[in-house]
Amino acid sequence: MASWLRAGLWATRAQLRQATVSAGTFAGVAIAPLSILIIGAFMLPGSPAGMARGVFGSTLVGMWSTVFLAASLDISRERTQETLPLIISAPVPTAVVLIGKILGNALVSFAAVAVVFTVAVLAGLFPLVVDAPLLVSGLVLFAVSSATVGLLVSVAYVVTRAATGLGNALEMGVWVLCGLLYPVSILPGPVEALARALPMTWSARVVYAAVQGAEDGERAGTPVALSLALAAATTLAAILLYRLAERRWRAAAEPHD
């Protein structure tokens, strides 16, 4: 078990290094959240809701976009750089490595938090936070949730080429679906149901509960628990999909030599 933990931490460390992109590329990803920060803050001047959406919505957008950048092509990258054989052939269960990757990408997403919060504070736009520990928990949960979905996307990309075509649409799809900028209750019924199946939706709720108070009087524990449960389910789905992919690669790899 200790051996697995160490292997997982090494996978996290390797992932952090892999996900470290150039300052230019990261800035390119950070610009959208900053744009949303401006929009949210000035769309309805003087409105606390607007300010909250501007600051925390843009933070969540930035976190997800950063994870998407780091994670979505991860398994494809392992494949093209031919490090996937190392992972497949290792006696340590692949699930350990995949969970390590999730943690690495979750940590990377905090770069977006740093950027948006810094700009918001400097511009005097940071709203009053009702529950700071809950906010931190919400951000951590969101980071982990995003990373689990990022990994699932990453595995889907190597299982089916159709997934790769979805690209930016997938990234923005989460903005629309997961209540990053507005409550999911304003989405149409079936779409809202889909949104509630995603872990980021619930962790975003935790973040906004910390700033604006809980929605409809719900207990803070509910979105936390749901976020954790769905993140775990997404991780499991990613691992199972990966195992399926691995089995297919081993059975049907291209001829060599």
Footprint of another protein on residues 196-235 (CB under 8 A)? none
Q: Does 153 bind another protein (CB under 8 A)?
A: no
For residues 191 and 232, which CB has a smaller minimum distance to another protein in the complex? Answer: 191
DSSP secondary structure string for all residues of 48-108: HHHHHIIIIIHHHHHHHHHHHHHHTTHHHHHHHTT-HHHHHTSSS-HHHHHHHHHHHHHHH
Q: Does 91 bind another protein (CB under 8 A)?
A: yes
**Using the rule CB under 8 A, which residue among 55, 56, 95, 182 binds another protein?**
182
Shortest Cβ 221–another protein spacing (Å): 25
At position 236, the amino acid (one-letter code) is L
Instruction: Please name the residue that has the structure tokens 């030599």.
Output: 257
DSSP code at position 1:
-
Q: CA–CA separation, 244 vs 202, rounded Å?
A: 28
The DSSP element (H or E) to which 43 belongs, if any, is: helix 23-43
Shortest Cβ 212–another protein spacing (Å): 12
Shortest Cβ 50–another protein spacing (Å): 6
The DSSP element (H or E) to which 248 belongs, if any, is: helix 221-252
Contact yes or no for 211/130 (Cβ under 8 A): yes
Q: Which residues, at least 6 apart from 123, have a Cβ–Cβ distance to it below 8 Å? A: 41
Within 54-73, the residues that bind another protein by CB under 8 A are 57
Q: Does 193 bind another protein (CB under 8 A)?
A: no
**Using the rule CB under 8 A, which residue among 128, 169, 190, 216 binds another protein?**
169
For residues 225 and 244, which CB has a smaller minimum distance to another protein in the complex? Answer: 244
Q: Which stretch binds another protein (CB under 8 A): 25-33, 105-113, 126-134, 152-160?
A: 25-33
Q: Does 114 bind another protein (CB under 8 A)?
A: no
Shortest Cβ 145–another protein spacing (Å): 19
Q: Which stretch binds another protein (CB under 8 A): 44-52, 151-159, 204-212, 226-234?
A: 44-52
Q: CA–CA separation, 102 vs 131, rounded Å?
A: 27
Q: CA–CA separation, 199 vs 232, rounded Å?
A: 9
For residues 111 and 231, which CB has a smaller minimum distance to another protein in the complex? Answer: 111
**Using the rule CB under 8 A, which residue among 6, 193, 221, 233 binds another protein?**
6
What burial class does residue 79 get, using C-beta atoms within 10 Å of its C-beta: 0-12 exposed, 13-18 middle, 19+ buried?
A: middle
Shortest Cβ 177–another protein spacing (Å): 10
Q: CA–CA separation, 233 vs 117, rounded Å?
A: 30
**Using the rule CB under 8 A, which residue among 183, 196, 220, 222 binds another protein?**
183
Q: Does 194 bind another protein (CB under 8 A)?
A: no
For residues 167 and 221, which CB has a smaller minimum distance to another protein in the complex? Answer: 167
